[in-house]
Amino acid sequence: MANFKVKEIKGVIPAVLAVFNKDEEIDEEGTRLYIDYLLEQGVDGLYLTGSTGEAFLMDLTERKRYVEIVIDEVRKRVPVIVHIGDIGTKKSIKLAKHAYETGADAISSVPPFYWQFREENIFNYYFDIANSVPIPLIVYNIALAGILRLNIIKKISTIENVKGIKYTATTHDQISTIKDQIGQNFLIYSGCDEMAASGLINGADGIIGSFLSLMPELFITIYNAIQNNDLETAKAKQKDAIRIIEYSLHFDYFSVIRLGLKWMGIPGGYSRKPFKNYEGEEEKKIKKGFLDLKEKYQIEEVKFLDSL
């Protein structure tokens, strides 16, 4: 059963990695240590089994097991959103029911993808999932699965149990428009880490993203600065985030995030193939790149950089 009301699910919410061992199996002990680290940093919630969590590289049994481990470790300390999206409605409903029964506070889903479904199909997909469980559904708008246009977002928002959207797009003017046309109670989570400050300025209720898992302290500073109208601090810290992210994107960035966690002594695990994992000379090269970046731009108060 849910422990938090949807209106309480705001703030800095890392998109959680799936921690695998070198044999690509779920590392339960590593997962628990990683989750505890994030909670110790003061994050406001967790987003599980999404793109960052390599959900589509796991089967349904593995996705369910990962959710069980994390929710058990969280112990009701923060809200948990479980991404249950898949191409098929039947599979997504199975995951939604499991998330609800395990104790998730909300579910989320990308639209069905690959076959370029019509808007009627997408609406029906969300309608069926939203009506399969009593916890809130957060729509997931991301280019990887197909960006939803404003008119279909508005239509989906009329489904009783749809309470918000994870908006992973750079068209942040639409965040304000969605709030105006759907209502202030319709929650919006900005999902573009490079534009976290922009999303919040335009009315987002929180931020969800991959790099919040690596450097939650940086994004917490950005979030708090926006809440306190300290735009100078938000701007400076957002620039630091952009520089770090831009460098990371030269590689398989999930694996770079894992390296950053490892350098701090936090289990980040391994990515599943076909993603690449970096070791040996490649790892040394990546580390040197971060050291150069830190020195060039005088980046401060980012823990994984300070650990180098």
**Residue of 10, 166, 179, 237 marked catalytic:** 166
**Integer Cα distance of 237 and 216 in angstroms:** 12
Whole-number pLDDT of residue 147:
66
pLDDT confidence band for 300 (50 / 70 / 90)? very high
For residue 274, being part of any structural domain is answered with no
The whole-angstrom distance between residue 180's C-alpha and the CA centroid of its chain comes to 25
pLDDT value of residue 146: 61
Give the number of domains in the chain.
1
What are 306's two structure tokens?
């300070």
Is 140 noted as a catalytic residue in this protein? yes
Judge whether 239 lies within some domain.
no
Residues 254-271 have a mean pLDDT of 98
- Residue 183 sits in a domain of what CATH number? 3.20.20.70
Strands 46-48 and 80-83: parallel
User: Which of 148, 150, 105, 104 is closest to 125 using CA atoms?
Assistant: 148
The DSSP letter of residue 267 is -
Residue 170 has pLDDT above 90, yes or no: no
Bridge partners for 108 per DSSP: 83, 138
pLDDT at 231: 97
What pLDDT, on the 0 to 100 scale, is given for residue 44? 98
* Interval 69-84 mean pLDDT: 98
Backbone region of residue 118 per phi and psi (left: phi > 0; alpha: psi in -120 to 50; beta: other values): beta
pLDDT of res. 143: 57
Of the pLDDT bands very low, low, confident and very high (cuts 50, 70, 90), residue 304 is very high
Question: DSSP character for 111?
Answer: P
Q: Is residue 283 in a domain?
A: no
Token pair 């309480």: residue? 8
Q: Is 66 left (phi over 0), alpha (psi -120 to 50) or beta?
A: alpha
Share of the chain above pLDDT 90, in %: 89
Helix (H) or strand (E) holding 14: strand 11-14
Say yes or no to pLDDT of 175 above 70: yes
pLDDT digits (tens, 9 = 90+) for 199-243: 999 999 999 999 999 999 999 999 999 999 999 999 999 999 999
The predicted structure's pLDDT at residue 142: 64
Domain that holds residue 86: 6-228
Q: Say if 296 falls within a structural domain.
A: no
Query: How many other C-beta atoms can be found within 10 angstroms of the C-beta atom of residue 21?
Result: 14
Query: How many helices and strands in the chain, by DSSP H and E?
Result: 12, 8
Between 88 and 116, residue with greater pLDDT = 88
> What is the three-class DSSP state of 107?
strand
Position 267 confidence tier, pLDDT thresholds 50, 70, 90: very high
**Which pLDDT value is given to residue 148?**
79
Q: 105-148 pLDDT, tens per residue?
A: 999 999 887 778 889 999 999 999 999 999 999 998 865 546 67
Residue 252 within any structural domain of the chain: no
Q: Is the pLDDT of residue 103 over 90?
A: yes
The answer to the question of residue 267 being in a domain is no
Kindly report the pTM of this predicted structure. Answer: 0.96
pLDDT tens sequence across 247-262: 999 999 999 999 999 9
The residue annotated as part of the active site, out of 47, 66, 126, 140, is 140
In a domain, 113, yes or no: yes
Report whether the peptide linkage leading into residue 274 is cis, meaning its omega lies within 30 degrees of zero.
Answer: yes
Strand partners, 206: 11, 189
Q: Which burial class, exposed, middle or buried, applies to 151 when counting CB atoms under 10 A from its CB (0-12, 13-18, 19+)?
A: exposed
Residue 96 forms part of a structural domain: yes
Mean predicted lDDT score pLDDT of the chain: 95
Rounded to an integer, what distance in angstroms lies between the CA atom of residue 272 and that of residue 18? 9
Q: What is the C-alpha to C-alpha distance for residues 89 and 305, in angstroms, rounded to an integer?
A: 42
What is the Cα Rg of the chain in Å?
A: 18
Q: Place 149 in a pLDDT band, splitting at 50, 70 and 90.
A: confident
- In the chain, what percentage of residues exceed pLDDT 70? 98
